[in-house]
Structure 1
Amino acid sequence: MSFIDYYKILGIPKTASENDIKKAYRKLARKLHPDLNPNDKEAERKFKEINEANEVLSNPENRKKYDKYGKDWQHAEAYEKAEQQQKQYQQSQNRRSFGSFQDQDYSDFFESMFGGAYSRAGSKSNPLKFRGQDYSAELQFTLEDVYKTHKRTITVNGKNIRLTIPAGVKNGQIIKIKGHGGKGINGGPNGDLHIKFTILNHSKFKRNNDNLYATIPLDLYTAMLGGEITIPVFEGKVKLKIKPETQNGTKIKLKGKGFPVYKKEGQFGDLFITYQIKTPTNLTNKEKELFSELAKLRNS
């Protein structure tokens, strides 16, 4: 595997800060995104490269390994474990007269460390197998996006992975895609892909777990006399009956009109509405007279 200079790909120095890495990646991603460069194979190749570079350098732990081990950074942990195991074995051999590990003890110990999938160190016919590196990725969605279950394709290390995003995913939630991390060494199992979801909310609703909250403006006349209003929700519209003499700050609950419950098909939280009564402005002379008469009636 040839060495790939991730810093060069993003056009940043090795001393770049996390913020520098983020800015450089976003700038290049906007320029090279496949939607803006249809049928451009070179742009597609570069887009995959900057995604790979960002996945490594934006993760402080992975960046540290990359800076130290270069192209072998994904296997750094496995190599360090193997070296440590060799040291432990050598120490055990030096203490054999004191009841330390025999050959079989060493083999059992090594298997307990690495899941029973490995033979004795140094065997050419059956070399050590190591699990691949875990990868981390972040996906951004809007609240509207995760109101319904949908599919999304992401690119990780040049591979397209088609995911089903369940409705009701929460902000900051992390899911694991088994076997989609780094490739295992010497036939070892692949690592996993950990995806963190960032949910952006541009709607008028506030979300708290599976419940939604909204403040709805209500004109003075409807609040006093009662009536009916219609408000938009994520799916269609809802009609609300307003009781006469509704007070400012009145709260109501609409059962089952909240957000979908994660991985529970057909289950929803509740929607809580707070009425905010709007006082009329720019009154005409006639309106002022009528309000004056009303005030006299109330005070008589």
Structure 2
Amino acid sequence: MAFLDYYNILGLSKTASEQEIKKAYRKLARKYHPDLNPNNKEAEKKFKEINEAHEVLSNPDNRKKYDEYGEHWQHADAYKEAEKQQKQQRSQYRTQDQFSSSDYSDFFESMFGGAASGASNRQVKFRGQDYNAELQLDLKDVFKTHKRTLTVNNKNIRITIPAGIENGQVIKIKGHGGEGINGGPKGDLYIHFAIINTTKFKRDGDDLYVDVNIDLYKALLGGEQLVDTFDGQVKLTIKPETEGGTTVKLRNKGFPKYKKEGVFGDLYVTYRIKIPKNLSVKEKELFTELQKLR
């Protein structure tokens, strides 16, 4: 993975304040957002880099590590621990008057394969950097399990997206992060899902909610009504004298449960009575007669 200069990505200097980081991120995120750049792979790549840069620099602890260790900032704690051990060993050798300048190499040389006196040429192994990626999908896209190819750091990764995944959910793809250091294991890839709902259904977990308009006459006299579900239509029987706001539950017509093949939530249908408008003279007369009867 090529080293990403997070400050350069956001167009900032290392002395930028938290407010400047936030302002730069918002401006660039709007500019390169996938919704404004459909089918633009370069903009999509830029958007991911901007999010990664903001994720690190907006966190004071991570920013401090990044400023000190650059691309190896995620291993900062391990570096500090190794450096502490080096100092302790050097102090011990000085006390015993056995220390010589040839016994130890530079700290970072040691971290990446240097040898210590009295020890074998043992390299310190570090796990690779974890990658983070955001995948934006429509609610319709996650109604069924499907496969999708992602491009992360110029590599194509084929993944299976289970039906029922939720907005904000994170999936870990093991071993698809950065290369390890000195033969260490690869990092992991974390995919953050952003689910956009462009349907008329409201989702709450595995359940779906939808409003259905019925005319005044059907509400009063009853009848049949075709109702859309997420995967087709069903015919419902409207009882006579149905009030507006009445809700009926359709079992197993909701959203699929995550990683439970063939298991679904419920669909709640709420009837909204549509009042007739632009009545004719005759209709007004009939409604007036009806009012007198009541």
Identify the residue that residue 127 of structure 2 maps to in structure 1: 131
- For 1:240 and 1:88, the matched residues in 2 are separated by 78
Return 124-133 or 273-282, whichever deviates more: 124-133
Q: Which of 27, 34, 38 pairs up with 2:31?
A: 27
Tell me the CA shift for residue 12 of structure 1.
4.8
1:290 and 2:294 correspond: no
* Residue identity opposite 1:56 in structure 2: A
AA at the equivalent of 1:155: T
Map 1:112-127 → 2, pairs under 5 A:
122=116, 125-127=121-123
Aligned to 1:268: 264
TM-score, L = length of structure 1:
0.76
Q: C-alpha separation between the residues in 2 aligned to 1:137 and 1:172?
A: 12
User: Which position in structure 1 is the counterpart of 2:229?
Assistant: 233
Q: Which moved more, 1:155-164 or 1:248-257?
A: 155-164
What corresponds to 2:65 in structure 1? 65
- Whole-Å separation in 2 of the counterparts to 1:56 and 1:169: 26
Which of 260, 272, 277 is the aligned partner of 2:273? 277
1:164-184 Cα deviation digits (max 9, x unpaired)? 111000122111111112221
Q: Distance in 2 between matches of 1:146 and 1:181?
A: 24
Structure 1 pair 124–55 and aligned structure 2 pair: CA distance change class (3 A): farther
Match of 1:185 in 2: 181
2:103 maps to none
1:212, distance to aligned residue in structure 2 (A) = 0.7
Query: What TM-score does the superposition give when structure 2 sets the normalisation length?
Result: 0.77
Please say if 1:254 is aligned against 2:250.
Answer: yes
Contact kept in structure 2, 1:140 and 1:198, CA below 8 Å: yes
Three-state SS of the structure 2 residue aligned to 1:186 is: coil
Contact 1:11 1:24 in 2 (8 A): no
Q: Distance in 2 between matches of 1:177 and 1:186?
A: 22
How high is the sequence identity, in percent, across the aligned residues?
Answer: 58
In structure 1, the residue matched to 2:157 is: 161
Q: Match for residue 106 of structure 1?
A: none
Cα distance change of structure 1 residues 252 and 283 upon mapping to structure 2, 3 Å threshold: same
Q: For the residues of structure 1 that align with 2:204 and 2:38, how far apart are their CA atoms?
A: 35
SS in 1 for 2:245: coil
Q: 1:18 is matched with which residue?
A: 22
1:152 aligns with 2:148: yes
Distance 2:292 2:232 in 1: 44
Aligned residues: 268
Distance 2:35 2:233 in 1: 39
Q: Supply the distance in 2 between the matched residues of 1:179 and 1:296 (Cα, whole angstroms).
A: 77
Distance 1:147 1:178, change over 3 A: same
